[in-house]
């Protein structure tokens, strides 16, 4: 992120908790989008940190650490079948690079682009700014390949150089596209700083942006609403790489967890964290390392990126048609203990679907301790989480299980076992979407 953003106070996507388990109207659903393992994203961040450590402590434009970062990402994408391209440009008398990667399926005349800048400032390794967005995009792109996705629209990803020098790389890319090629890009979504240590959840406002940007804003708000995470709109203007696309009339959107601006008391009450402290105290500083990442914010934002990519490239979004049941009653999870939370399902004819959505919000200080199962009314067990995630905290995601052999009506249970000592937590809420 190049310079300070001005934050609007518009709030979107808040959900009202139920007072008892009951069927409710379905919130926006993460439809076919997969859950992106945050540990995989962290592995990319570790690679970028190592690259910085080995190249003078940064990954800045014109430095060896930047080119090594490009080479790492391009190598991963080439290995899974992307068509990649390096574009050279000059800024400050030295060569910079943009990397684009296209998934060779879908309508090449209808392109959805997603991008973020890869360069850091010279002062530090730039792990949140913007290793976070770059690594999230990489893992989503790799998931597109691993799931053998065949989208309706063409998917193109971009990693931009010299953003920190004034949006140089992305501007060069857009300005050098022939008008016919620009016309093929139906939307661009930008991800710049998505793991701030004292995070907010900001969605780029469509206000003042090209026609069609409101649809991108709504798509980016939807997964947070499904998670029960309120968002605010932020007026980004011309201060990140989406601006180059907006300047030529391409609809734009994006996500952001905050930089040097101070979190207010109201925002801390809504999102947690520390009021009166910057969203990112290490913004543009040497301490912007892998220790400067809030893993929960990173996890949520990367899942939101996946939702946006799957939804926008499909071209249509079909909301769930079945009833939704939820249990918001807190259940404590002590050390070395197994607990359960029930949901009574009634009024659903026949069997459960082959793609039963299980929404889970578990607050825990070490999710690598947890084994999480869904128990059908007849006692059949469906494991959804088995001590993954290591030292990450909080398990907030949506799983899909094939429960087509199970009668829908009856008492379903979420069973959570804490398999190790020293860390505890709470089942905050869980849900079943039929």
Say which CATH number the domain at 404 has.
2.60.120.260
Q: What is the reported pLDDT for 278?
A: 98
Q: What distance in Å separates the CA atoms of residue 400 and residue 252, rounded to the nearest whole number?
A: 30
Range of the domain at 93: 6-14+30-314
> Over the stretch 366-376, which tens digit does the pLDDT of each residue have?
888 999 999 99
Task: Give the H or E element holding residue 98.
Answer: strand 94-103
Residue 275 confidence (pLDDT)? 97
In a domain, 73, yes or no: yes
Checking if the pLDDT of 340 tops 80, the result is yes
The whole-number average pLDDT for the span 267-275 is: 96
Task: Say yes or no to pLDDT of 135 above 70.
Answer: yes
355 and 298 within one domain: no
Same domain, 147 and 171: yes
User: What mean pLDDT is predicted for residues 277-301?
Assistant: 98
pLDDT band at residue 30 using 50, 70 and 90 as cut-offs: very low
What is the reported pLDDT for 48? 98
pLDDT of residue 12: 32
Nearest one of 431, 15, 362 to 222, comparing CA atoms: 15
Residue 429: pLDDT over 90: no
* Angle, CA of 285, 136 and 224, to the nearest 5°: 100
Instruction: From 275, 278, 302, select the one nearest 288 (Cα to Cα).
Output: 278
Residue 397 and residue 370 in one domain: yes
Residues 151 and 254 in one domain: yes
Q: Among residues 295, 314, 333, which one ends one of the domains? A: 314
First-residue to last-residue Cα distance in the chain: 41
Q: Residue 146 maps to which CATH number?
A: 3.40.630.10
pLDDT of residue 13: 31
Is 92 part of a structural domain of the chain?
yes
| For residues 118-143, average pLDDT | 97
The domain boundary, picked from 314, 341, 362, lies at 314
Assess if residue 20 is contained within a domain: no
Out of 19-23, 199-203, 411-415, which region has the weakest mean confidence (pLDDT)? 19-23
301 and 330, same domain (yes or no): no
**Could you read off the pLDDT of 46-90 as tens digits, one per residue?**
999 999 999 999 999 999 999 999 999 999 999 999 999 999 999
Residues classed as catalytic:
163
**What is the per-residue pLDDT for 394?**
80
pLDDT value for 17: 26
pLDDT at residue 169 tops 60:
yes
Strand, helix or coil for residue 115: strand
Q: What is the mean pLDDT of the chain?
A: 89
Domain identity same for 409 and 274: no
> Does the pLDDT of residue 247 top 70, yes or no?
yes
Question: Can you tell me whether residue 305 is helix, strand or coil?
Answer: helix
Residues 6+ apart with CB under 8 A from 121: 58, 60, 129, 164, 284
* Domain contains 426: yes
- Integer Cα distance of 191 and 329 in angstroms: 34
- 235 and 265 within one domain: yes
Asked if residue 255 and residue 140 are part of one domain, the reply reads yes
pLDDT band at 160 (very low <50, low <70, confident <90, very high): very high
Per the model's pLDDT, the better-predicted residue between 17 and 153 turns out to be 153
Distances (CA, A) of 267 to 15, 226, 236, 272: 16, 19, 18, 7
Instruction: Give yes or no for residue 320 having a pLDDT over 80.
Output: no
Grade residue 16 by pLDDT with cuts at 50, 70 and 90: very low
State how far Cα 323 lies from the chain centre. Answer: 26
Q: Tell me the mean pLDDT in the region 160-185.
A: 97
Q: Which of 314, 349, 378 is the last residue of a domain?
A: 314
Same domain membership, residue 270 and residue 358: no
Which contacts of 72-80 are long-range, i.e. CB under 8 A and separated by 24 or more positions? 72/47, 72/48, 73/99, 73/118, 73/134, 73/138, 73/159, 74/99, 74/101, 76/138, 76/142, 77/101, 77/138, 77/141, 77/142, 77/157, 80/142, 80/145, 80/146
Which residue stretches of 333-407 are H helix? none
Residue 361 three-state SS? strand
pLDDT value at residue 264: 96
In a domain, 382, yes or no: yes
**Is the same domain home to 267 and 303?**
yes
| pLDDT (0 to 100) of residue 32 | 62
Please check whether residue 221 lies inside any domain of the structure. Answer: yes
Residue 201 lies in a domain: yes
19 domain residue, yes or no: no
Phi, psi for 103 (deg, rounded to 5): -85, 120
Total structural domains within the chain: 2
- On whether both 249 and 298 belong to a single domain, the answer is yes
Contacts for 183 with CB less than 8 Å, ≥ 6 apart: none
Which residue, 386, 304, 299, 384, is CA-closest to 42?
Answer: 299
Pair 270, 349 in one domain: no
């Amino acid at each position: 992120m190049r310079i300070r953003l001005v934050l609007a106070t518009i709030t979107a996507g808040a959900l009202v908790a139920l007072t008892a388990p009951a069927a409710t109207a379905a919130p926006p659903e993460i439809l076919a989008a997969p859950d992106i393992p945050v540990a995989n994203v962290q592995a990319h961040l570790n690679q970028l940190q190592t690259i910085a450590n080995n190249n003078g402590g940064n990954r800045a434009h014109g430095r060896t650490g930047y080119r090594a970062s490009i080479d790492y990402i391009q190598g991963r994408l080439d290995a899974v079948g992307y068509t990649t391209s390096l574009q050279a440009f000059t800024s400050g008398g030295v060569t910079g690079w943009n990397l684009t990667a296209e998934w060779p399926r879908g309508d090449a005349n209808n392109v959805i682009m997603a991008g973020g800048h890869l360069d850091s400032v010279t002062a530090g390794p730039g792990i949140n700014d913007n290793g976070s967005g770059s690594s999230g995009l990489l893992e989503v792109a790799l998931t597109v390949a691993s799931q053998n996705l065949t989208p309706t629209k063409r998917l193109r990803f971009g990693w931009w150089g010299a953003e920190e020098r004034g949006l140089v790389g992305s501007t060069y890319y857009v300005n050098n596209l022939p008008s016919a090629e620009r016309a093929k890009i139906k939307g661009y979504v930008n991800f710049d700083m998505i793991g701030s240590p004292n995070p907010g959840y900001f969605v780029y406002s469509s206000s003042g942006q090209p026609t069609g940007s409101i649809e991108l804003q709504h798509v980016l708000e939807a997964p947070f609403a499904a998670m029960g995470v309120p968002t605010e709109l932020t007026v980004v203007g011309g201060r990140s790489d989406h601006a180059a696309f907006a300047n030529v009339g391409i609809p734009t959107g994006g996500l952001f967890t905050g930089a040097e601006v101070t979190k207010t008391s109201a925002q801390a009450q809504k999102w947690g964290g520390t009021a009166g402290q910057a969203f990112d105290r290490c913004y543009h500083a040497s301490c912007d390392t892998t220790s400067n990442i809030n893993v929960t914010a990173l996890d949520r934002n990367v899942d939101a990126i996946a939702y946006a990519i799957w939804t926008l490239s499909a071209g249509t979004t079909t909301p769930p048609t079945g009833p939704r049941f939820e249990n918001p009653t807190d259940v404590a999870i002590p050390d070395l203990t197994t607990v359960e939370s029930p949901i009574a399902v009634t009024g659903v004819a026949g069997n459960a679907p082959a793609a039963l959505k299980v929404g889970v919000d578990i607050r825990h200080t070490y999710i690598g301790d947890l084994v999480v199962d869904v128990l059908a009314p007849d006692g059949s067990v469906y494991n959804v989480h088995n001590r993954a995630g290591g030292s990450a905290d909080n398990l907030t995601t949506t799983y899909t299980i094939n429960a087509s052999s199970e009668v829908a009506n009856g008492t379903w249970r979420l069973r959570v076992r804490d398999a190790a000592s020293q860390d505890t937590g709470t089942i905050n809420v869980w849900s079943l979407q039929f």
